[in-house]
Amino acid sequence: MKHTYTITGMTCNGCRTYVEDALNAIPEINCVEVNLEASEASIEMAQHIFTDKLQKALSSKYHIAEKNIFNVSSETQTTKKSELQQLFPLFLIFFFIIGSSILLNYNPWNGQAFMLDFMGLFYIVFSFFKFLDLKGFPDSFRMYDPVAKVIPLYGWVYPFIELGLGTLFLMRIEITLALIVTLVILGITTIGVTKTLLGKKSIQCACLGTALKLPMTKATLIENTIMIVMAVVMLIKLHN
């Protein structure tokens, strides 16, 4: 018999290999095929195996659930709840970045400096999390970024690009260049995020690297949009 399961928590090919090896080690299982992009596993087994047993074979990082028409509703409710919980670190980080940017410019208030500091801190903080797992980030990033899919090296360089842009914004160096690069790289990533959301693929967002397991949601799209809008506004102000 053959069953299909959804597996959350996988971020790279290393995760896929681990899941396949861990499940194949169960005696009753004949063959396991894991689709990383779809977050699914097709399992051929000699006899039916309860999901609890499959879960015990995996580490706590991964969650496995059988796909069938009877539990779609309950799984959807659980997924929505877990997504909100998982997105809490992202909202918290945004709160601190906004708060820090306000404190740096509130007296006297300087809206232009606020946006530059926000973008600088955004890049510095987000690049930090990517550097925590520099080896795993490229695999997660190319699952939705169009350039990283074609040029794998781009995924390795991207954290350094973010770090460089953050430094330029905070030090007020080559602002126009930094804004143009921001529009290009975030514009490309936003296209990939939009396609992923429209395709309803269940993958993890690499915006905070792989250290924090964040689902790809509209929040990711909003975060990119905020940066793009700020970059456009700043370009207009600088050239008026």
Summarize pLDDT for 198-230 with one digit per residue, the tens.
Answer: 876 665 565 655 555 565 566 677 888 889 999
What is the C-alpha R_g of the chain?
21
> With bands split at pLDDT 50, 70 and 90, how would you rate the model's confidence at 193?
confident
Residues 127 and 166 sit within 8 Å (Cβ to Cβ): yes
* pTM flag (> 0.85): no
In the prediction, which pLDDT does 73 show? 44
Residues 44 and 1 sit within 8 Å (Cβ to Cβ): yes
In the prediction, which pLDDT does 167 show? 96
Length of the chain: 240
Residue 214: name the closest of 88, 122, 58 by CA. 88
Spatial distance between the Cα atoms of 220 and 208, rounded to a whole number of angstroms = 10
Query: Which stretch, 47-61, 67-81, 156-170, has highest mean pLDDT?
Result: 156-170
C-alpha pair distances (Å), 202 with each of 104, 174, 208: 38, 38, 17
Q: Which of 74-88, 91-105, 149-163 has the weakest average pLDDT?
A: 74-88
Compare 60 and 71 and report the one with higher pLDDT.
Answer: 60
C-alpha pair distances (Å), 146 with each of 4, 10, 16, 216, 217: 28, 20, 21, 15, 17
Residue 90: name the closest of 54, 47, 125 by CA. 125
